[in-house]
Amino acid sequence: MSPWLRTLALAGFVAGTAHASTADDAFKSIYEKEWAWRNGQAGILTSGEAQPGGGRLDTVDAASQDKRLAYWNDVLAQLDRIDPKALSDGERINFEIYREQIRNLAAAQTFKQWQMPFNSDSAFWSDVGYVLQGDNLRTVQDYRNYIAHLKQVPAWMDQEIANMRLGLARGFTVPRAVLDGRDASIAAVAELTKPEDSALYRPFATLPKTMPSSDADALRAEARQAIAEGVIPAYAKLLAFFRDEYVPKARTTLAAESLPDGKDYYRQQIREYTTLDLSPDEIHAIGLREVAKIHAQMLDTMKETGFKGDFPAFLQFLRTDPQFYAKTPDELLMRTAWVAKQVDAKLGTYFGLLPRQRFAIEPVPADIAPYYTSGRGGADTYLVNTYDLPSRPLFNMPALTLHESMPGHALQLALSAEQQGLPPFRRDGYISAYGEGWALYSEYLGNEMGIYHTPYERFGYLTYQMWRACRLVVDTGIHHKGWTRQQAIDYLTRNTALSQREIANEVDRYISWPGQALSYELGYLKILALRERAEKELGGKFDLRAFHDTILALGSVPLPVLEERVDAWIASRK
């Protein structure tokens, strides 16, 4: 058996010689039926889930949400009747992952998360193009289906508005403090004068050359009509609701614990995003410990630069000196691409299996760039924010690129998508503690790969490490300890070299997205601890490529499952 197949076997991906047990069959029947049902729904949007629904936008109303809660509670009851010990090794791993996935889906319905369908970082109205899947159109029928889905936008928007009104009525809203300017992306559609200027019309700009011109003309005309008479007025209605009703009535508190059932809600957010049973106070303490450790490393690196002032003066120097900033968006993109190509040359040394998928580097769309994060990566695209260049220091780009592209998100997500034998709820799922923990570990790996060439780039790496450690302090500070927005901003300003725009955007993200910020550092610390354990126990038998392949072979899993699998790998290597 090859090393890679041996890794897959340890991860539970290679079937044994025995026939599937009755318990396996019962479990498979449950998840196959549920997954088919889930993909027949539209509008399921939760943190760790792909968007099912086949591009439809038709069912997000309160009645359908209640039906989902009942359905998932019934699935949980069915799972409780299965003895995990009776499952084969592979299905037992699937069971651990699937049960927690369904538990999180049911919990989101229980807390009525659907009544707050956006935050300062992401919004349902900005995701329409992604949900409609306009990149995968080939035939005339594909385009007709797309137009049919465009025609669903007005009714779908009405349902989302009704859901948000229910949230307003019980105080379950995004905090008022982070809503300023969030209407810009709605207005970008609502105030269009020509349907052709809409991003939703883009699939019709270049129809296949093999399509008859009569069909092409008819499709373009119907798409223009659907956008002009349906989509744009729907966004205008949403814009009026947002400005005249939602913003004035949004809650004035910040903490998740101030929401209805807030303490339980925040603990659920912690469990969903970290996959760990930790209290807010425990997480806060971990954050303070890591902040102190990284601060000492930052001081040492500051001395390497030859800077003569104190730490606050050094941060001010980094934030204001023109040498650290690109002059044009293209310069920022090209510097980013240069980092990515340096990483390419190193990958084979650190990984045994690499994906076939390649990724593009693109600027963040202009309508969301002002409040979007500095970068975001997936299997096929690494978005780089070129808005407000004095807020995008070049010394941070190596760490950001390692995180968002290779060997971070682009590598992990592409490998997961190419895995054979994974059930779709695993292949298409995303667990933040694993995915973000791996991406943060990838920044750490940049030290060994030789990607940080100057003390400033090493300081950029450390400021990104500090940023994620600060998140543990800030998220729990806001949602559990009663911190104000300004306290959170001041804390990040004192401890990191992030720009003021980045800090304000990040704090607003933490305020409106409780718990998500905790996943990065806690996932990273777990992966790093597992590597240190493997190195200590295996000594000369430790193989870094095999360790990385073992981590990535699992796909997205809860941290306890990851630890169990790595321990099994260590035992096998002994």
How far apart CA 32 and CA 426 sit, in angstroms, is 12
pLDDT at 48: 40
Domain identity same for 440 and 469:
yes
430-441 per-position pLDDT tens digit = 899 999 999 999
337 plus 215 within the same structural domain: no
The reply to whether 80 falls in a domain is no
31 domain-assigned:
no
When divided into structural domains, the chain yields a total of: 2
Q: Mind giving me the DSSP string for 148-189?
A: HHHTTHHHHHHHHHHHHHHHHHHT-S--GGG-TTTTHHHHHH
356 shares a domain with 493: yes
Give residue-wise pLDDT tens across range 359-389: 999 999 888 888 788 899 988 899 999 999 9
Q: Please, which residues have CB within 8 angstroms of residue 530's CB and are 6 or more apart in sequence?
A: 551, 562, 563, 566
Q: From CA 394, how far away is CA 401, in angstroms rounded? A: 11
Q: Is residue 376 situated within a structural domain?
A: yes
> Does the pLDDT of residue 140 top 80, yes or no?
yes
Give the CB-side neighbour count of residue 91, counting CA atoms within 13 A: 24
Same domain membership, residue 281 and residue 248 = no
- In whole angstroms, give the CA distance from residue 454 to residue 467: 20
193-227 CB burial, b ≥16 within 10 A, e <16: eebeebebbebbeebeeeeeeeebeebbebbbebb
- Rounded CA-CA distance 400/279 in Å is 29
Same domain membership, residue 291 and residue 222: no
Q: Is the residue at 6 inside a domain?
A: no
- Residues 375 and 461 both lie in one domain: yes
Angle at which helix 485-495 crosses helix 500-512, to 10 degrees, equals: 130
Count Cβ atoms below 10 Å from residue 258 Cβ, excluding itself: 17
Domain check: are 315 and 294 in the same one? yes
- Write down the H helix ranges in 259-328: 262-274, 280-305, 311-320
Cβ proximity of 105 and 431 under 8 Å: no
Q: What is the mean pLDDT of residues 71-96?
A: 95
Residue 54 placed within a domain = no
**Whole-angstrom Cα distance, residue 538 to residue 550?**
15
Say yes or no: 503 and 382 in one domain.
yes
Q: How many residues does the chain have?
A: 574
Confidence of residue 43 (pLDDT cuts 50, 70, 90): low
Burial of 418 (0-12, 13-18, 19+ CB in 10 A): middle
Residue 549 lies in a domain: no
- Assess whether 236 and 317 both reside in one domain: no
Structural domain containing residue 177: 128-252
Domain boundary among 194, 217, 252: 252
List 118's β-bridge partners, or say none.
123
* Contacts for 468 with CB less than 8 Å, ≥ 6 apart: 440, 520, 521, 524
Same-domain status, 228 and 329:
no
**What is the structure's pLDDT at 13?**
43
What does the pLDDT average to over 210-220?
95
**Cis? peptide before 203, omega within 30° of 0:** no
Band the pLDDT of 132: cuts 50, 70, 90.
Answer: confident
Whether 520 is in a domain gets the answer yes
Global pTM reads 0.89
Q: Where among 219, 252, 285 does a domain terminate?
A: 252
DSSP 15-41: --SSPPPHHHHHHHHHHHHHHHHHHT-
Domain boundary among 224, 252, 280: 252
At 128 the pLDDT is: 85
Dihedral angle computed from the Cα positions of residues 477, 481, 484 and 488, in that order, rounded to the nearest 10 degrees: -10
Average pLDDT, the chain: 91
pLDDT for 15 equals 42
In a domain, 85, yes or no: no
405 and 493 housed in the same domain: yes
Give the single-character DSSP code of 365. P
Domain match, 370 and 517 both:
yes
What is the predicted pLDDT for the residue at 14? 43
Coil vs helix vs strand at 363? strand
Q: What average pLDDT score do residues 285-310 get?
A: 97
**Residue-wise pLDDT tens digits, 47-83:** 444 344 556 677 899 999 999 999 999 999 999 999 9
CB burial class (10 A; 0-12, 13-18, 19+) of residue 268? buried
